[in-house]
Amino acid sequence: MTALKHLLFSASLVALPVLGFGAAFHRSVRSLTLPARLGASLALGCVSLTVTAVLLSTVGIPWSIPALSLPPLVTSSVLWRAWGREARSATRPLRPSGSVAVLATAAGGLSVLHLSVALITAAATSTDFLLFWGVKAVRFAGSRGIDAALPKWTYFTHAVPDYPPLVPVVTAWSVLWTGEFSWRLYPVTTALWALAAAPLVLELLRRRATDDQGAAITAFWLAAVSISLARSLSGGSAEAPLLFFETLAVAALLAEPDRESPSRFLPALMLAGAVLTKVEGSVAVLLVAAGALVRDQEAHGFPTAVRRTVALVSGAAAALATWFLFQATHGLPTGFRGHGDLWSLHRGFLPEILGGLLRNLDAGTLGLSWLVPLAFLLVSRARIRPLLPALTLSAGVLAFLVFDYLHDDRSPSQRIRWTAPRVSQPGLSALILAAGVATSRKREPAAG
C-alpha cells in the first residue's frame, strides 16, 4: 500500500463515526465526554452503513461511497435536528485520585500496546479473517454489493454464508476507499474497537461508581479484553466488534437508575449492532433482554418491564429483518443454520466439554481475568437482581457454548480449543461489568 492508500484507509475508519454523528446528540449520550460520544457515533455509523449496504444489495443498486454514505448521513442529520436543540447538561469532569489515575492509565495503555504489537506483528491474526471475513469483504467490494451467487456457491460453505453482514460490510467500506485490501494492516483495527468502547464504558460506569472506581474498573476491563483478544487470535475477525456492541449494551443497562425509566436508545442501538455482527449476537440479545425483563419487573411492574424490553430489542429485530429480507429476496435460506438437530445431544462428552471449557478460559492471564471479578462478586454480597442484564449474558454465553459443543458426535476438544477462548469473551466482559457495579458505592445514579 502506498502512503496515499494508508491515508485513505485511515479516512475510511474516521468516516464511520461521522456517518453516525447523530447518536452523539441523544439525551442519554450528549452530556458524556467527546470520546464517549464518538463511541456511540461509531456504533450508529456501523449499523446504519450495514443496513444501507444490505438494502442497496436487496434492490440491486451498486455500492459506492456516496450511495453508502447518503442514507446514514441523512439519518444522522435528522437525529441531530431533532435532538440537538434540547438543553445539554454540562459534562461532569473526571477526577480520579492521583495514584488510581496513574495506575489505570498505565494498565490501559500497556494492555492496548500489548494487543497492538500482537496485531502488527501477526501474532494475533484470526484464521476466520483469512478464510471468510476478509474474503467476503474483498469479494463484496469487488462486486459492489453482496453478490448472492457467492453465498449460494457449493464451494463457499466454509465461509458460513448465513452469518450476518456487519463485519464484511464495514471492511468492504475501507476497500472501496483504498481500492485494495491490506491483509496485514486490517487486523490492527481490532484494537480500535476496544479503544473506542473504553471511554463509553467509563462514562456509563461513572453513573454507578465514583470516579476512582469507574477508572479502575474500566482499566481492568480494557486490560482483560485487550489481552484476551490477542491471546484468542481475534485479529481481523468479528470478535472485537461483537465485544464492543455487547459490552456497551450491558454497560448502558447496568447504568440505568433503579426507579426511573430512561431511554433505551443506547442499549437498543448496541444490540442492533450485535445481531448484525455474529449469530452469537442474537443469542446475546435474548439473554440480555431476559435479564433486563426480570430485573425491571421488580421496580416497574410486569407490563412496564415488557414494554421496555420490547423497546430494547426493537432495533435488533429491525436490523435482523433487513438481513433476512435480503436472504429471502435472493433465494438464500432465510435465517441462521443450526448446528445439527437442536436436541440431538451427545451427553457422554459433558465431562470433556466442562473440563475443556475451564482449561480454555485462560484469557491470556492464567484465568485471573475471570477469577478477579468472580471473587469481587462473591465478596461484595451484592443483590443479584440489579446485575441480571450482565449476569444472564455471562452465564448464558458459557451455557450456550456447552450446549453447542454437546452437538458434536466426535470429541469436541479441538473445537473447544479453537473457539472457546474467543467466543467466551462477551461473557468475560459482562462479568467484569457486573462485578464492577457490585463493588461500587454510588448506588443510585442520576438519570441518563
Partner 1 sequence: MRIPAARIWVLSAIVLCAVAARRRLSYGVGEQLQLPATPLDRTSASGTREWAFLQECRRRIPPGVSLTVIAADPDQESALFMLALGVYPDHSVLPSSYFGTTAPSGSQAEYVLIYDGAKRPDGLEIVAQWADGAVGRRKR
Positions in the binding site for partner 1 (CB under 8 A) = 96, 99-100, 103-104, 106-108, 110-111, 114, 117-118, 120-125, 127, 129-132, 134-135, 138-139, 141-142, 154-156, 158-159, 181, 183-184, 187, 210, 212-213, 215-217, 219-220, 222-224, 227, 230-231, 233, 236, 364-366, 368-369, 372, 376, 379-381, 436, 439-441
Q: Is 260 left (phi over 0), alpha (psi -120 to 50) or beta?
A: beta
Q: Closest separation between CB of residue 395 and partner 1, Å?
A: 22
Q: Which one, 218 or 327, has the nearer CB to partner 1?
A: 218
Q: Which one, 26 or 114, has the nearer CB to partner 1?
A: 114
Q: Closest separation between CB of residue 161 and partner 1, Å?
A: 13
Residues 17-47, buried b or exposed e (16+ Cβ, 10 A)?
A: bbbbbbbbbbbbbbbbbeebbbbbbbbbbbb
Q: Closest separation between CB of residue 420 and partner 1, Å?
A: 17
Q: Closest separation between CB of residue 445 and partner 1, Å?
A: 16
The candidate with the shortest Cα–Cα distance to 173, out of 27, 308, 56, 324, is: 56
Q: Which one, 91 or 380, has the nearer CB to partner 1?
A: 380
Q: Which one, 12 or 111, has the nearer CB to partner 1?
A: 111
Find residue 235's DSSP bridge partners. Answer: 125
Q: Which one, 123 or 321, has the nearer CB to partner 1?
A: 123
Sorted by sequence, the CB contacts under 8 Å of residue 365 that are 6+ apart come out as 224, 227, 228
Q: Which one, 140 or 400, has the nearer CB to partner 1?
A: 140
What is the C-alpha separation between 133 and 234, in angstroms, rounded? 12
Q: Closest separation between CB of residue 190 and partner 1, Å?
A: 12
The backbone torsions φ and ψ at residue 125, rounded to the nearest 5 degrees and listed phi first, read: -70, 135
The answer to whether 194 touches 115, Cβ cutoff 8 Å, is yes
CB-count burial class (<10 Å; 0-12, 13-18, 19+) for 416: buried
The candidate with the shortest Cα–Cα distance to 249, out of 223, 284, 219, is: 284
Q: Closest separation between CB of residue 301 and partner 1, Å?
A: 31
Q: Which one, 107 or 401, has the nearer CB to partner 1?
A: 107
What is the C-alpha separation between 219 and 251, in angstroms, rounded? 15
Cell reading at 317: 429485530
Q: Closest separation between CB of residue 392 and partner 1, Å?
A: 23
